[in-house]
């Protein structure tokens, strides 16, 4: 696929890295030559220096035969205009833009085809905020990923002492919980993936990915570990884009405090948020944290845009007694350094966001992609089309489908029904099939599985 990425910031460059490794033709446009040249040295991409929305710059970037344009500069206006130009001058088929300002997003008619022709609007901050909110609302989960508009969830939990299933075979799950259907999609033991079978024994410290209907998630988590008390008290460090959104989405149901070191920033937030307590100060200041009862805090979220500050303040909060700490960490290298023993949950915004973009890059009808384990694995929601003769999946029982190695089908969503996968389940047309792929190199084969043969058209 020929893809033009506008803006070589955090989102742009991480998307470029992921897509370039999948043999796409990537061109990156940015105003700052130095930044893109560094990218070109690292990745197999072409770079163009210039203003992202100028037609001549887009032309140089090869907009005439591009399949997709991805506008992620830090200016909403540039992104919107670039998509408009790509549509009017170059007839680019898919146009994705990052638009952050609520003022624009509140007017959906703006983004109609005859106004601002943007096919997909993304707001990385909102995606990240939703992601964190889901984790906070589901104590014990490391990751919570939605499929089929939230009807099905893929959840990662760490198995701990005290979970009824720990030390038992997976097939015991059914006896433990009659009436609740779930499927374990993958288990990571000491960083290595194991393909689960009925005989697999869950060990302490395993990272278990399971799929279940939304209402059953809590019950399944309770099998893997003692369930934590619901979260009440939350401290957020950093009142930036994400911190503020997070506070807004949590303040009605939780006690939220937010710390920001910039006084005018803090005043602005306090005007904006009604129930949140806004504190002006340094999130890594132990006295401030103690004064605010850090030892009774259920979750401490370090959400500034500075990795080091996030890591240090989260570690400090943990030391001072916060029950669970999370930190936003942009650099992949840091995640390996701190996760599990020092910081409970490290959140990589790029990885959270990239899934929503990958869904548009994947061939075949893919409704949702979640990138997992630093991009090594993927969970995909693919839609089955065609009939028995034109499709490799429709009309076949799951047992009969030739899945690539390391791939499991976790669930099938048929209309409003969630069917947890088992060998005899027959896939019907328009089913949403949720797959877990342990090795990203196999994605190509999965795509091919869901592409409809020529006969369909």
Partner 1 sequence: MQFKAILRIIGLLLMVFSTTMLPPIAVSLIFEDDNFWPFFDAFILLLFAGLLLWLPNRNSRKEMRLRDGFIVVAMFWLVLGLAGATPLFLSNQHEMSLTDAVFESMSGLTTTGATVIIGLDSLPQSILYYRQQMQWLGGMGIIVLAVAIMPMLGIGGMQLYKAETPGPMKDNKLTPRITETAKALWYIYLGLTIACAVAYWAAGMSWFDAIGHSFATVAIGGFSTHDASMGFFNSTTIEAVAMVFMLLAGVNFSLHFLAWRSFSLRPYQQDEEFRTYLKILFLVAVTTCTYLYVTHTFATAPEAIQRGLFQVISMGTTTGFTTAQYDTWPGFLPVLLLMLSFVGGCAGSTGGGMKVIRVLLLFKQGMREVIRIIHPNAQVPVRIGDKPLNERVMESIWGFFSLYIASFSVMALLLAASGLDLVTAFSAVAACMNNLGPGLGDVAANYAGINDLAKWVLCFAMLLGRLEIFTILVLLTPAFWRN
Enumerate binding residues for partner 1 (CB under 8 A). 2, 23, 25-27, 33, 37, 40-47, 62
Helices (H), 148-256: 172-176, 217-224, 241-250
* Residue 406 CB, nearest approach to partner 1 (Å): 20
* Residue 311 CB, nearest approach to partner 1 (Å): 27
Strand order in the sheet with 345-347: 277-280, 255-260, 233-237, 299-302, 324-328, 345-347
Specify the residue, 8 or 279, whose C-beta has the smaller distance to partner 1.
8
Which residue reads 């799951």 in tokens?
A: 398
* Residue 27 CB, nearest approach to partner 1 (Å): 5
423-435 burial, b for 16+ CB within 10 Å, e for fewer? Answer: eebebebebbbbb
The closest of 57, 131, 133, 53 to 95, measured between CA atoms, is 53
Residue 386 backbone dihedrals phi, psi, to 5 degrees: 85, -165
Q: Is 445 left (phi over 0), alpha (psi -120 to 50) or beta?
A: alpha
* Residue 437 CB, nearest approach to partner 1 (Å): 22
* Residue 396 CB, nearest approach to partner 1 (Å): 34
Distance between CA 219 and CA 211 in Å, rounded?
A: 12
* Residue 255 CB, nearest approach to partner 1 (Å): 48
Q: Is 406 left (phi over 0), alpha (psi -120 to 50) or beta?
A: left
Specify the residue, 50 or 321, whose C-beta has the smaller distance to partner 1.
50
Specify the residue, 24 or 428, whose C-beta has the smaller distance to partner 1.
24
Strand partners, 369: 380
Assess contact for 97 and 82: CB atoms under 8 A. yes
Specify the residue, 39 or 438, whose C-beta has the smaller distance to partner 1.
39
* Residue 364 CB, nearest approach to partner 1 (Å): 23
* Residue 431 CB, nearest approach to partner 1 (Å): 36
Specify the residue, 67 or 285, whose C-beta has the smaller distance to partner 1.
67
Close Cβ partners of 389 (under 8 Å, ≥ 6 residues apart): 453, 455
Taking every pair of Cα atoms in the chain, the longest distance, rounded to a whole number of angstroms, is 70
Specify the residue, 94 or 181, whose C-beta has the smaller distance to partner 1.
94
Specify the residue, 62 or 429, whose C-beta has the smaller distance to partner 1.
62
Specify the residue, 46 or 218, whose C-beta has the smaller distance to partner 1.
46
């Amino acid at each position: 696929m020929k893809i033009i990425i506008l803006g070589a910031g955090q989102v742009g460059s991480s998307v470029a890295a992921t897509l370039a490794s999948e043999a796409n033709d990537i061109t990156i446009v940015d105003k700052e030559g130095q930044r893109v040249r560094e990218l070109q040295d690292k990745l197999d991409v072409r770079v163009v220096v210039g203003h992202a929305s100028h037609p001549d710059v887009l032309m140089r970037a090869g907009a005439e035969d591009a399949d997709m344009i991805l506008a992620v500069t830090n200016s909403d206006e540039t992104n919107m205009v670039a998509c408009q130009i790509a549509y009017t001058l170059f007839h680019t088929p898919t146009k994705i833009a990052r638009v952050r300002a609520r003022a624009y997003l509140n007017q959906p008619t703006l983004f109609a085809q005859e106004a601002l022709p943007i096919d997909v609007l993304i707001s990385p901050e909102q995606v990240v905020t939703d992601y964190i909110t889901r984790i906070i609302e589901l104590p014990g989960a490391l990751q919570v990923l939605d499929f089929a508009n939230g009807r099905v969830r893929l959840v990662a939990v760490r198995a701990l002492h005290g979970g009824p299933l720990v030390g038992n075979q997976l097939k015991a799950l059914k006896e433990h919980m009659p009436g609740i259907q779930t499927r374990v999609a993958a288990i990571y033991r000491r960083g290595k993936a194991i393909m689960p079978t009925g005989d697999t024994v869950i060990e302490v410290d395993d990272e278990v990915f399971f799929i279940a209907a939304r209402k059953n998630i809590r019950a399944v988590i309770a099998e893997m570990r003692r369930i934590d008390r619901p979260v009440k008290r939350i401290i957020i460090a950093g009142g930036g884009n994400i911190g503020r959104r997070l506070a807004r989405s949590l303040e009605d149901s939780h006690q939220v405090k937010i710390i920001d070191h910039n006084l005018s920033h803090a005043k602005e937030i306090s005007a904006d948020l009604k129930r949140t307590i806004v504190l002006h100060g340094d999130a890594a200041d132990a006295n401030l944290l103690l004064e605010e009862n850090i030892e009774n805090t259920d979750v401490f979220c370090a959400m500034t845009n500075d990795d080091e500050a996030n890591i240090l303040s989260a570690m400090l909060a943990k030391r001072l007694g916060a029950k669970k700490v999370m930190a936003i960490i942009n650099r992949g290298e840091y995640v390996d350094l701190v996760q599990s023993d020092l910081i409970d949950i490290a959140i990589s915004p790029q990885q959270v966001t990239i899934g929503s973009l990958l869904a548009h890059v994947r061939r075949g009808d893919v409704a949702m992609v979640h990138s997992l384990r630093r991009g090594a694995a993927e969970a995909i929601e693919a839609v089955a089309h065609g009939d028995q003769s034109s499709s490799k999946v429709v009309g076949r029982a799951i047992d009969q489908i030739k899945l690539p190695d390391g791939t499991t089908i976790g669930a099938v969503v048929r209309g409003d029904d969630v069917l947890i996968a088992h060998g005899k389940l027959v896939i019907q047309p328009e089913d949403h099939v949720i797959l877990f792929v342990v090795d990203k190199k196999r994605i190509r084969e999965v795509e091919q599985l869901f592409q409809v043969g020529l006969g369909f058209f």
